[in-house]
């Protein structure tokens, strides 16, 4: 693997030194600043990756990525962390599908069954053409987020009521 050389300008070095001495930044940003300061070849003797590793306790891979980002993308990109790529929507059951799932779960189960199972509900959604494929975990998650469970701590269909005490109150 090619080793990228870090050469900081005077302004960049001053900014990094101020940032690390004040400690008023995110932990990842401070670690990146310390790595850049230790790896700088222009001002003093640059530390090797092993020395930086032992001094800061970060991984070799982080140091390598940071060197590459500094050389290829610049000073600011090396300091800031790269945002995570957008994730697909976690909730796959929405709108009509969710409504139909709740209707199915509340309806009578198919003939020969005493109750709906997650697999039966998933299969029924596919048979109805509401989804192409769906897992039992997705069905479970969609039903779990409903607030109509009697055991739910949030207020939903079943409002918690206090049960009267069966033991009589003390009379004085």
Helix axes of 118-127 and 136-144: crossing angle, nearest 10 degrees: 100
Burial (CB count <10 Å: 0-12, 13-18, 19+), residue 60: exposed
Q: Over 60: is that where the pLDDT of 167 sits?
A: yes
pLDDT in tens, 95-135: 888 889 989 989 899 888 888 999 999 999 999 998 888 89
Hey, which residues does 40 pair with through a beta bridge? 6
Q: Cα(63)–Cα(145) distance, rounded to whole angstroms?
A: 42
pLDDT for the residue 168: 63
| Cβ within 8 Å of residue 71, ≥6 positions away | 4, 5, 6
Hey, which residues does 6 pair with through a beta bridge? 40
Q: Cα(122)–Cα(109) distance, rounded to whole angstroms?
A: 13
Q: What's the full length of the chain, in residues?
A: 172
Q: Cα(11)–Cα(142) distance, rounded to whole angstroms?
A: 53
Q: Over 70: is that where the pLDDT of 64 sits?
A: yes
Sign, CA dihedral 113-115-118-122, equals positive
Q: Cα(89)–Cα(138) distance, rounded to whole angstroms?
A: 12
- pTM of this prediction? 0.52
Q: How confident is the model at residue 11 (pLDDT cuts 50, 70, 90)?
A: very high
């Amino acid at each position: 693997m090619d080793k990228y050389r870090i050469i900081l300008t005077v302004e960049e070095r001053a900014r990094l030194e101020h940032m690390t001495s004040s400690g008023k930044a995110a932990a990842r940003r401070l670690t990146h600043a310390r790595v850049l300061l230790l790896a700088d070849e222009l001002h003093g003797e640059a530390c090797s990756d092993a020395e930086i590793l032992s001094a800061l306790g970060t991984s070799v891979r982080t140091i390598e990525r940071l060197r590459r980002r500094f050389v290829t993308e610049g000073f600011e990109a090396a300091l800031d962390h790269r945002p995570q790529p957008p994730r697909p929507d976690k909730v796959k059951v929405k709108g009509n599908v969710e409504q139909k799932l709740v209707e199915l779960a509340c309806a009578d189960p198919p003939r020969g069954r005493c109750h709906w199972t997650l697999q039966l509900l998933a299969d029924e959604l596919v048979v109805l053409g509401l989804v192409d494929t769906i897992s039992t975990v997705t069905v479970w998650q969609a039903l779990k987020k409903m607030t109509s469970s009697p055991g739910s701590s949030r207020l939903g269909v079943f409002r918690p009521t206090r049960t009267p005490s069966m033991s009589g109150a003390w009379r004085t």
